[in-house]
Copies of this chain bind each other. A is one copy, B any other.
Amino acid sequence: MEIQIGRGKTARRAYGFDEIALSPGSKTLDPSLADTNWSIGGIDREIPIIASAMDGVVDVKMAVELSKLGALGVLNLEGVQTRYEDPNPILDKIASVGKDEFVILMQGLYQEPIKPELVEKRIQEIKAQGGIVAVSATPAGAARFGLVAAKAGAQLFFIQATVVSTNHTSPEDIAPLDLAKFCQEMPIPVILGNCVTYDVTLELMKAGAAGIMVGIGPGAACTSRGVLGVGVPQATAVADCAAARDEFFKTTGTYIPIIADGGLVTGGDICKCIACGADAVMIGSPFARSVEAPGRGFHWGMATPSPILPRGTRIKVGTTGTLKQILRGPAILDDGTHNLLGALQTSMGTLGAATIKEMQQVNVVIAPSLLTEGKVYQKAQQLGMGK
């Protein structure tokens, strides 16, 4: 499987979702019989879709609404919601500046410190309205706010770094977060990410993770690959990490779900993720398009406000429907961004998969949806270019 790039270097071919498609087998199923239930940290959900912990995607209202619709939303504990008592004028400003002023504005807005009392308040607001409380922080933020959040009523704690590892070297004066110790000491399940390899997945599971987020560099609002050169195409990353999950389950009897995170836009993308072995997906931009989203039709990455090396860009995604339309339909768009649950169920029916576990086993073909001359012409016409 190793390919020679040059005399001094070999590399493995990795595949992205744009390069694969799902292939029907010998049986089919009525979509209404497709069971999409899954479970994470002891919490059962009907829909294996999690809204990303991004400022433009999840606020209190979204977290509550997503819970009620059968899904899950994760609140970013280090974003505008915990820096500002009233985030609305802040979000208005983010949506109104020009593209060139955006990064500087974000860098300025994030100089406002995170307030522990707002961490508590947001958690309590979600709880009070009947939502499942899932929150997210960086490793550094987890050290500061982990117990605060748990005490305030959080039910799931996500730790997200661009790349997480159990073997992190820090400067001498800063102690790195000990993930195993953190998982052990937290009274609530801890989900860890992001990673892309079999080995790190196994290590994180041994450290006590209740779920693993898989994906480095593939997101629409993420520019890690351009800025850092780092990124692994998702189909390969998900398949590798899913193999580690199966190995861990075989060894320990504990089943830790794999969550594909980043780069997913359509129902088809979600279906492909699960077919490569994921138990669920974490998506941002599809929800940023909802009427309810805090992003006001925009979507941006969480590495953007970095004062030193901003990564991630702001994309105008527009507002295309209600959260319910996007998640459960009925769809009024035909491009795969409405009724994501319906798409998953219909795909499972088409492929004869009755459960998420069966969907993980369906046939995949390598079938690059590469651009050809004809397609560019068509696409150009659809975009209204040319005569």
Q: Are B23 and A232 in contact (CB under 8 A)?
A: yes
Contact A229 B269, beta carbon cutoff 8 Å = yes
Given contacts A240-B6, A243-B7, contact A271 B386 (CB under 8 A): no
The answer to whether A195 touches B24 (Cβ under 8 A) is yes
Contact A236 B6 (CB under 8 A): yes
Report whether B384 and A169 are in contact in the complex, using a CB–CB cutoff of 8 Å: no
Q: Cβ of A16: which chain B residues have Cβ within 8 Å of it?
A: 367
We find that the number of chain A residues with CB closer than 8 angstroms to chain B is: 138
A238, B230: Cα distance in complex, Å: 18
With beta carbons under 8 angstroms apart, the residue of B12, B26, B239 that contacts A365 is B12
How distant is the Cα of A383 from the Cα of B165 in the complex, in angstroms? Answer: 37
Indicate whether A11 sits within 8 Å of B372 (C-beta atoms), given known contacts A223-B335, A308-B342: no
Chain A interfacial positions (CB closer than 8 Å to B): 1, 3-16, 18, 20-30, 32-33, 103-104, 107, 162-171, 174, 176, 195-200, 203, 216-217, 220, 223, 225-233, 235-240, 242-244, 246, 265-272, 275-277, 301, 304, 307-313, 315-316, 329-336, 339, 342-343, 346-347, 350-352, 354, 363-387
Distance, CA A235 to CA B380, complexed state (A): 25
CB distance from A56 to the nearest CB of B (A): 15
Report whether B365 and A11 are in contact in the complex, using a CB–CB cutoff of 8 Å: yes
Give the top 8 A-B pairs by smallest Cβ distance, nearest first.
Answer: A6-B239, A383-B386, A229-B271, A229-B268, A8-B243, A7-B243, A27-B167, A227-B336
**Given known contacts A6-B238, A329-B308, A374-B265, A167 and B228 CB-to-CB distance under 8 angstroms:** no
Q: Which residues of B contact A163 (CB under 8 A)?
A: 24, 28, 350-351
9 extra interchain contacts, Cβ-Cβ under 8 A, other than A5-B236, A228-B343? Answer: A6-B276, A8-B246, A25-B199, A220-B378, A233-B365, A301-B334, A309-B342, A368-B372, A371-B373
Chain B residue at minimal CB-CB distance from A217: B21
* B14 adjacent to A336 (CB under 8 Å): no
